[in-house]
Amino acid sequence: MTTSLLLNQAQFNMKTAGGNFQQVTSFTLLAAPRMSAGSGDDPCAGATPACPTLAVYTQATDGTANQTLLLKGTAPILIHASMLRRMS
């Protein structure tokens, strides 16, 4: 799978032969305050304030995804300054 972040949307592209996103009914991209430390560690669980939603996909309103899962942005810019620090 490859990913890309665009202004006001995010996109996941399936690269696995025969794979698809047809069973995905919803997907939410959050801005977590930190990276997860591993299994069972959810940095957004109980976070105050709650982790902001950056983008969403809902099959009921966006249609069934196949090879591409397109998320609609809920914020002006999907790449948050804290995410840039983690990526560098």
Domain hosting residue 59, numbered range: 2-31+48-87
Q: How many domains are there within the chain?
A: 1
CA 85 to chain centre: 18
Q: pLDDT band for 50, please (50, 70, 90 cuts).
A: confident
Maximum C-alpha span of the chain: 41
Tell whether 57 is covered by a domain.
yes
Judge whether 50 and 75 are in contact, CB under 8 Å: no
Tell whether 42 is covered by a domain.
no
| Residue range 26-42, pLDDT digits in tens | 998 888 888 889 888 98
| Residue range 12-22, pLDDT digits in tens | 899 999 999 99
Sign of CA dihedral 15, 21, 23, 27: positive
Tell whether 41 is covered by a domain.
no
Tell whether 62 is covered by a domain.
yes
